[in-house]
Chains A and B, each alone.
Chain A
Amino acid sequence: MEENGHIVLKDVRKAFGPKHVLNGINISVPKGRSLVVIGGSGTGKSVMIKTILGIIRPDSGSITIGGEEVTKLSGKERDQFLLRFGMLFQGAALFDSLPVWENVAFGLIQGRNTPRIEARDIAIEKLRQVGLGPEVGALYPAELSGGMQKRVGLARAVAADPEIIFFDEPTTGLDPIMADVINNLIVDCVKRLGATTISITHDMASARKIADRIAMIHKGEIVWQGPARAVDSSGNPYVDQFIHGRAEGPIQMEVLKA
């Protein structure tokens, strides 16, 4: 399958001490397409994204971007490689020592040596694209609501027009209306940039809106993947349990075992 995938993971494994988090992940995302990874908390979704970015080194397996193996990159090469990415973190992860506009412009100023004034204009424009006025640029992250922080995180992720964007739980913790606003913004931004994206979520409304393809992860393995519209008729017990939010099924919450 998908030899021509833009992002390809083959048999990626990662354990923290005795704890096996990724147990052989295989996914492939074609250029310009959007994969949504669904799955419960603690199943290794964030770890998977971080192995692609090189924040976490996988124990084994191969990760290629545009055909280039990236797990062994380091130093300057890695920084160069990271310039092609944008990432929206689960908790937005805004730098709280910097005003909003500098957060958005950070990758331009530090990573690409864009002059501050120019970077500032770009930041204001990106803020506008996520529905925030220029006055927000001067505020500090701590002065913003959760939804606004997510939008700023989104603006920062797309500020340098990356070719690949990752969204880690973009709608978690938001009310349904704000969640939908963020979903629309993601779809807009991705369309505008033509970027390849992987999004992580456990919000099915969000998944349906963003995804071309959906993959379900459970205990560090992909247990199902297919086109977004097939998710309701997958016939896969894990997927069925997850999208209907049932306590009974093959996915057993480790409530009592802990």
Chain B
Amino acid sequence: MNFLANLGRVVLALLAEIGRIVIFLKDALLQGLTPTIYVRQILEQMLRIGYNSLPVVGLTAFFTGGALALQIYLGGSRFNAESLVSTIVALGITRELGPVLAGLMVAGRVGASIAAELGTMRVTEQIDALTTLATNPFKYLVGPRIVAGVITLPILVGIADTIGIMGGYIVGTRSLGFNSFAYIKNTVDFLHLDDVTSGLIKAAVFGFIITLMGCYHGFNSKGGAQGVGRATTNAVVSSAILILAANFALTSLLFSE
């Protein structure tokens, strides 16, 4: 009995949270993404989300590309299929690992900082102050962050793809003994455009998720510094889970085409 009651409570709380997120999403779309558009804020956020995430995302992609090359070489050698390394590295990075890893890294960096910033603005009444200065916080704070996320993440992932493939190339040619020209030719020949675009579409969706969750948890934080801390954690955890779930859904969707 007690177990069922607890389960019921958890389910109800979860549904209530989903409801709140949907309402926030509605406000974000209807208020945040309609004129007035704050171009200055969008550019500022793009710089913050994109430029500042470059080092983490680049390093992650580089090492992952390298590790992937080693693993595929090892696995491939059991079937005498070592020559597949370049192709599978490129596929794996562009379709899957580039967007997901970049998404997760950006969720940790940017999602957290958006939640912390907006959360602090909430508990210090800065968001109320915006309202009283006749500025809609959804337009001024939420909209620009979401737009910046959706534009910037594909760019970041494009760069991550390049660096990741380069990581694979370096390992492939330096330590696995591939011919440099053949490696590049294999990559270019077998990589399709939709391998790349499907990854970039994912990236745009992840950018939306990260910024939406950051804004949602920041906006709804209460109770001082502790509340802001909680909002930050929740923003990161919820966007990471949603990214992985959305990744699966999108992969199935883009795969079946």
Contacts and interface: CB of A to CB of B under 8 A. Distances in A.
Contacts of A89: 125, 128-129
A39 interface: no
A145 interface: no
Contact of A111 (B120, B126, B134): B134
Interface in A48-99: 50, 53-55, 79-80, 82-83, 85-87, 89-91, 93-96
A55 B131 contact: yes
11 contacts: A50-B128, A55-B128, A82-B131, A93-B129, A94-B126, A96-B126, A106-B135, A107-B135, A110-B135, A111-B135, A112-B134
B132 A82 contact: yes
Interface in B132-171: 132-136, 140
A90 B125 contact: yes
Chain B's interface size range is 10 to 19
Contacts of B132: 53, 55, 82, 85-87
A53 B196 CA distance: 50
A79 B136 contact: yes
B125 A95 contact: no
B134 A107 contact: yes
A85 B136 CA distance: 15
Interface string B51-84: 0000000000000000000000000000000000
Contacts of A106: 133, 135
Interface centre among A50, A93, A106, by most chain B C-beta atoms within 10 angstroms, is A93
A93 B128 CA distance: 8
A83 B126 CA distance: 17
Interface string A17-47: 0000000000000000000000000000000
A50 to B, nearest CB: 7
Interface of A: 50, 53-55, 79-80, 82-83, 85-87, 89-91, 93-96, 106-107, 110-112, 156
B179 interface: no
B180 interface: no
B124 interface: yes
A115 to B, nearest CB: 14
Contact of B129 (A80, A83, A87): A87
Contacts of A110: 133-135, 140
Smallest CB-CB A-B distances: 5 pairs: A111-B134, A93-B125, A107-B133, A93-B129, A82-B134
Contacts of B133: 82, 106-107, 110-111, 156
Contacts of A79: 134-136
A111 B132 CA distance: 10
Nearest to A54: B131
Contacts of B136: 79
A4 B121 CA distance: 37
Nearest to B128: A55
A93 B124 contact: yes
A111 B135 CA distance: 6
Nearest to A83: B134
Contacts of B140: 110
A91 B124 contact: yes
A179 to B, nearest CB: 20
